[in-house]
Amino acid sequence: MNTKLFFIFLLSFVILTAQEDKFTSVDISISPLIDGTLLNPKSSEKNPLVILIGGSGPVDRNGNQQMMENNSLRFLAEGLYANGIASFRYDKRIVKQMKQRNLNEKDIRFDDFIKDAITSIEFFKKGGEFSKIYIIGHSQGSLVGMIAALNRADGYVSIAGAGQEIDDVIVDQLAKQAPGLEENARLSFDDLRVNGIAVNYSPGLASIFRPDIQPFILSWMQFDPKIEIAKLKIPILIINGDRDLQVQVSEAELLHNAHPNSEYVIIPFMNHILKRIEGSDMDNSKSYNQYNLPVMPELIEIISVFINK
């Protein structure tokens, strides 16, 4: 190897080593269905721990899905790490089930995600390694997290969480994005709630009401975020971005009104995946697949202050 090539090789090795040493992390499995990554800053004292719970769909520990890589949860965890806050983020169980080719949509229930969150909390509480345990739930994970946090966590953070039952959220979204389907969706959700099945839905709503997924939607509809958050007797922080195309600021307002003692922050220019968007809705949509776009520093700061105070 000539001197120039050796120098390039050595420099590359140093850079890779520095990147690996940037975070004290370990990948762990805490159950047959829960695989995740623990980031724990080096400290002479116990650090607080946040458990990050992802949103809807087959979301992995980094906040990514197939064909959609934005690393939102990874960047959030790394930002908190820099402020002395440990984190555990995990793949949703359906990610592992898809890899093992044993996922059956008919068997998925919202309660499964709650169970996984509770298992994660109890695992780290039993270990006794951390000073306090906080839950951060993003999007669908907001409802999962607030239910799991009851009588278990020391604090709770909702990011882009709905304030209504999921059927009402979807009907509101359709009213803005596809008003021709709004009425049919309302009737179909009512049929599902009363009869356990919806059959007279429009073909345009098949992605929501296809038979295999109806049991999951019905199980999700049983939980009202306003009721669940009101049960919590711990510090609460509610966050939303005003550039969120999926969850309106009004949803965060509903959560705050249901728990008036909660802290409530709307972050200007933040979208649903925690990125800064100053351009068009097209720019907003493109950010969902920009793997190196950082999450907003303001978000990291707000959460860090809430946890460390």
Sheet holding 133-138, edge to edge: 25-31, 34-39, 86-90, 49-53, 133-138, 155-159, 236-241, 263-267
Per-residue pLDDT, averaged over 149-166, amounts to: 98
- Decide if pLDDT at 280 tops 50: yes
- Decide if pLDDT at 292 tops 70: yes
Burial (CB count <10 Å: 0-12, 13-18, 19+), residue 253:
middle
pLDDT tens digits, one per residue of 26-49:
999 999 999 999 999 999 999 999
Contact 221, 193 (CB under 8 A): yes
Element containing residue 155 per DSSP (H, E): strand 155-159
- Decide if pLDDT at 176 tops 80: yes
- Decide if pLDDT at 15 tops 90: no
Instruction: Tell me the pLDDT band of 309, cut-offs 50, 70 and 90.
Output: confident
Hey, what CATH topology would domain 21-163+235-308 get?
Answer: Rossmann fold (3.40.50)
Instruction: Tell me the pLDDT band of 24, cut-offs 50, 70 and 90.
Output: confident
Per-residue pLDDT, averaged over 77-99, amounts to: 96
Domain ranges for the chain, please list them: 21-163+235-308, 166-222
Q: Count of CB atoms within 10 A of residue 63's CB?
A: 25
Residue 236's DSSP bridge partners are: 156
pLDDT tens digits, one per residue of 97-110:
999 888 899 999 99
pLDDT tens digits, one per residue of 115-136:
999 999 999 999 999 999 999 9
